[in-house]
């Protein structure tokens, strides 16, 4: 966690935040382009993050998405929260359809296999994720959909 993490948690809890997601993604994309992938909005916020690259299930084109993550031992936990918005993030459908994906976590680049967690495993992972980003609880309240949780493991 970084110096700006409490500010990021406060901003992330705002109810109107999902409406700004396109602008945040735009800023983050350009920040990463300018820094050649070395800095993201999540880095500035002091939050653990990774770049997930997964092949589009329809297009066959690799798509990259910066995501908040929670390192958990030798694995990473990610959630398809979309700030608690009503729609499922497209990367979730692509990840479900893919055998493997690729991540960049800091200087580490590796292929991963994704396991979508259910039941007790999802509940335990969710509790772990809430310790890093308590706003996941708010996102869960905002949406009628079950937020998917994935465990990424090196291939």
In this predicted model, what pLDDT tens digit does every residue of 95-152 receive, in sequence order?
999 999 999 998 899 999 999 999 999 999 999 999 999 989 989 998 999 999 999 9
Whether this model's pTM surpasses 0.85: yes
| d(C-alpha 109, C-alpha 107), whole Å | 6
- Please state the rounded mean pLDDT for residues 59-74: 94
């Amino acid at each position: 966690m970084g110096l700006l993490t409490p500010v990021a948690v406060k901003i992330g809890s705002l109810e109107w935040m999902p409406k700004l997601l396109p602008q945040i993604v735009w800023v983050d994309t350009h920040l990463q382009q300018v820094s050649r992938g070395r800095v993201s909005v999540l880095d500035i916020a002091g939050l653990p993050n990774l770049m997930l690259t997964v092949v589009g299930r329809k297009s066959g084109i690799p798509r990259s998405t910066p995501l908040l993550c929670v390192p958990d031992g030798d694995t990473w936990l990610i959630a398809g929260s979309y700030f608690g918005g009503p729609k499922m993030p497209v990367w979730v459908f692509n990840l479900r359809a893919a055998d493997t994906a690729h991540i960049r976590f800091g200087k580490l680049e590796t292929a991963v296999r994704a396991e979508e967690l259910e039941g007790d495993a999802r509940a335990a992972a969710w509790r772990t994720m809430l310790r890093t980003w308590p706003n996941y609880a708010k996102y869960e309240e905002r949406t009628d959909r079950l937020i998917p949780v994935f465990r990424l493991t090196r291939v």
